[in-house]
């Protein structure tokens, strides 16, 4: 049986897969429901749909058309959410930018992505203008804060939108599900950032995967801690909207605010990096948290430690451990204990959860392969590289065929992350390939050492990096951020503590107490740390 001729796809039975369809359904079905809350401001789905329709129309008038890039530097606000739909609605490509980057880095992105329009918060306007100038861009600069007035050569999105009639949410500009929807630049720790191109099909499918993995439905209230500029908030703008849930925007990451918004808005879900969870654990407002009203928390970026998982559990947060990359639209694996899964104690549960787990729904394949490309034994010991095959992988790197071909070698996407497969099928990352410390020919997982250090009562966060050593090649150096108000213990005490729990060659030979440099998404910048330690600039 061949589905050709009159059995081939046609307009009625082959509709491009796109998150716009999810939006359209929720605006139709949940018109009166709150779609987004930001402080005292509330928009229903009908109002959000209207805002998006008017934004789409306003952007069109600014000359943005199909295939054009729109760059955005904005905090988690309703306009940022709306842009996730308004830009693709006119067939354009949303380029959200890490707002903590400097004008030089952003100038590079403007130069590389050639946006047709640049939208930013007032807070980032100076940087945006400077970057705009450096890139020699002639795109209009548009302020997107709610109610902001045009000033200093920048237009006001509020004003532009106020004069528009809302376009109908249609799929007309999505000619093909393999059409670009977003362009996200990697953090570029090892060189210039790469522009990761997302397509409508992948964004739609990964957002459905999120609905399934986190259990979003129309009763869900999602607190925006994770920046939307980070892999488009792991596709949650699309996922929460598809489920007809409510977005709660938090412009700044503040633990006190997080605790109070959880109560005020009856939050059911949130996502953030472990570093934010540490803040919550160590904040005085934790006393106000009603631990019986559970909140499901997706976390990733760095592996949550045993101590963190145990502490969060007691505080009413059910952790789901997600792992992924910008290139995989966020989550590619999930580790969440099922309800019928029995654990001896909280520690055992936490050890289980510290693994990266199994393939995320709608990811087709995740393998751990050796250097020859063969799957490693599922023995929990043999190290290999994680490779992926999935509809939820980027189309490639924008204007960079070489890096694209390298990433997609051998029919898989190569993550560069090193992991083992446990006998139960769960995978566990031992390290980024580049973060493994090789000492006397032995691999030391910095993560394993960090996990031990996190159990020391004085430690808030620990990061372990390799430093050159004349005899061993490299040895581990522990960089430790202390809990607030805690005095630094002697270096020897930390080393002795590590030796109690680790093979001696894995224990740090040096301990540095300092504030750890973090990326905007809460990842420890080990590259930076390594340099600091080596130049003595801690």
Site residues (CB under 8 A) for its own copies? 1-3, 5-15, 17, 21, 25, 28-29, 31, 67-69, 93, 171, 178-180, 183, 197, 199, 202, 208, 211-212, 215, 217-219, 338-340, 358-359, 361, 364-365, 388-391, 393-396, 398, 401, 404-405, 408, 411-413, 425
Residue 245 CB, shortest distance to its own copies, in Å, is 12
**Residue whose token pair is 């104690």:** 345
Q: What is the 3-state secondary structure (H, E, C) of 389-420?
A: ECCCCCCEECCCHHHHHHHCHHHCEEEEEEEE
Nearer to its own copies by Cβ, of 214 and 281: the residue is: 214
Residue 137 CB, shortest distance to its own copies, in Å, is 17
Nearer to its own copies by Cβ, of 390 and 475: the residue is: 390
**First-to-last CA distance in the chain?**
68
- In order, the DSSP letters of 305-317 are PHHHHHHHHHTTE
Nearer to its own copies by Cβ, of 7 and 496: the residue is: 7
Half-sphere CA count of 73, side-chain side, radius 13 A: 29
Nearer to its own copies by Cβ, of 170 and 260: the residue is: 170
Nearer to its own copies by Cβ, of 260 and 364: the residue is: 364
b/e per residue 208-226 (b: at least 16 CB within 10 A): bbbbebbebeeebbbbbbb
Nearer to its own copies by Cβ, of 212 and 346: the residue is: 212
CA distances (Å), origin 72, targets 95, 235, 531: 6, 16, 31
Cα radius of gyration rounded to whole Å, the chain = 23
Residue 198 CB, shortest distance to its own copies, in Å, is 10
Residue 237 CB, shortest distance to its own copies, in Å, is 18
Residue 365 CB, shortest distance to its own copies, in Å, is 8
Structure token digits, residue 485? 């108000």
Nearer to its own copies by Cβ, of 58 and 69: the residue is: 69
Rounded to whole angstroms, how far apart are CA atoms 21 and 203? 12
- The residues near 256 (Cβ < 8 Å, ≥ 6 apart) are 283, 285
Structure token digits, residue 125? 């306007």
CA distances (Å), origin 111, targets 103, 131, 197: 12, 9, 16
Residue 318 CB, shortest distance to its own copies, in Å, is 15
Bridge partners of 358, per DSSP, are 334
Residue 11 CB, shortest distance to its own copies, in Å, is 5
Nearer to its own copies by Cβ, of 47 and 448: the residue is: 47
Nearer to its own copies by Cβ, of 179 and 445: the residue is: 179
Q: What is the 3-state secondary structure (H, E, C) of 316-366?
A: CEEEEEEEEEHHHCEEEEEECCCCCCCCCCHHHHHHHHCCCEEECCCCCEE
Residue 172 CB, shortest distance to its own copies, in Å, is 12
Residue 240 CB, shortest distance to its own copies, in Å, is 14
């Amino acid at each position: 049986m061949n589905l050709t001729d009159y059995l081939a796809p046609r307009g009625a039975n082959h509709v491009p897969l796109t998150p716009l369809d999810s939006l359209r359904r929720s605006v139709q079905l949940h018109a009166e429901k709150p779609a987004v809350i930001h402080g005292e401001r509330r928009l229903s789905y009908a109002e959000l749909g209207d805002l998006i329709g008017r934004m789409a129309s306003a952007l069109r008038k600014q000359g943005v058309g199909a295939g054009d890039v729109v760059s955005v530097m904005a905090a988690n606000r309703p306009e940022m959410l709306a842009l996730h739909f308004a830009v693709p609605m006119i067939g354009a490509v949303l380029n959200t930018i890490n707002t903590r980057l400097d004008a030089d880095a952003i100038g590079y992105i403007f130069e590389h992505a050639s946006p047709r329009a640049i939208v930013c918060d007032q807070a980032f306007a100076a940087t945006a203008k400077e970057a705009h100038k450096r890139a020699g861009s002639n795109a209009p600069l548009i302020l997107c804060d709610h109610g902001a007035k045009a000033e200093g050569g920048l237009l006001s999105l509020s004003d532009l939108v106020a004069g528009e009639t809302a376009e109908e949410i249609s799929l007309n500009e999505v000619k093909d599900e393999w059409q670009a929807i977003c362009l996200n630049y990697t953090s570029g720790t090892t060189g210039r950032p790469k522009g990761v191109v997302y397509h409508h099909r992948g964004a739609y499918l990964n957002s459905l995967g999120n609905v399934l993995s986190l259990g979003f439905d129309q009763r869900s209230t999602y607190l925006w801690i994770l920046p939307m500029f980070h892999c488009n908030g792991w596709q949650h703008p699309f996922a929460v909207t598809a489920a007809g849930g409510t977005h709660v925007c938090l412009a700044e990451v503040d633990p006190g605010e997080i605790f109070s918004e959880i109560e005020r808005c009856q939050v059911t879900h949130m996502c953030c990096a472990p570093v934010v969870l540490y803040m919550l654990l160590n904040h005085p407002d934790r006393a106000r948290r009603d631990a019986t009203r559970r909140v499901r928390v997706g976390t990733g970026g760095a592996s949550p430690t045993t101590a963190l998982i145990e502490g969060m559990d007691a505080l009413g947060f059910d952790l789901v451990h997600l792992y992924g990359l910008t290139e995989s639209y966020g989550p590619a694996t999930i580790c969440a204990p099922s309800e019928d899964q029995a654990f001896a104690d909280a520690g055992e549960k936490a050890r289980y959860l510290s693994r990266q787990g199994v393939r995320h729904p709608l990811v087709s394949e995740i393998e751990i392969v050796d250097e020859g490309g063969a799957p490693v034994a599922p023995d929990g010991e043999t190290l290999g590289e994680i490779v992926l095959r999935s509809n939820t992988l980027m189309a490639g790197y924008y204007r960079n065929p070489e890096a694209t071909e390298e990433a997609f070698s051998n029919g898989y996407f190569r993550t560069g992350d090193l992991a083992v497969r446990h006998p139960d099928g769960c995978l566990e990352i031992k390290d980024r390939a580049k973060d493994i410390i090789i000492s006397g020919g032995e691999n030391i997982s910095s993560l394993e050492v960090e996990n031990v250090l996190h159990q020391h009562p004085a430690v808030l966060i620990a990061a372990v990096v390799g430093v050159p050593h004349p005899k061993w090649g490299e040895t581990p150096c522990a960089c430790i951020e202390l809990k607030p108000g805690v005095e630094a213990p002697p270096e020897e005490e930390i080393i002795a503590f590590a030796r109690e729990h680790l093979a001696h060659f894995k224990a740090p030979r040096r301990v540095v107490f300092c504030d750890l440099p973090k990326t905007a998404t809460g990842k420890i910048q080990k590259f930076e740390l390594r340099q600091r330690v080596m130049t003595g600039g801690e």
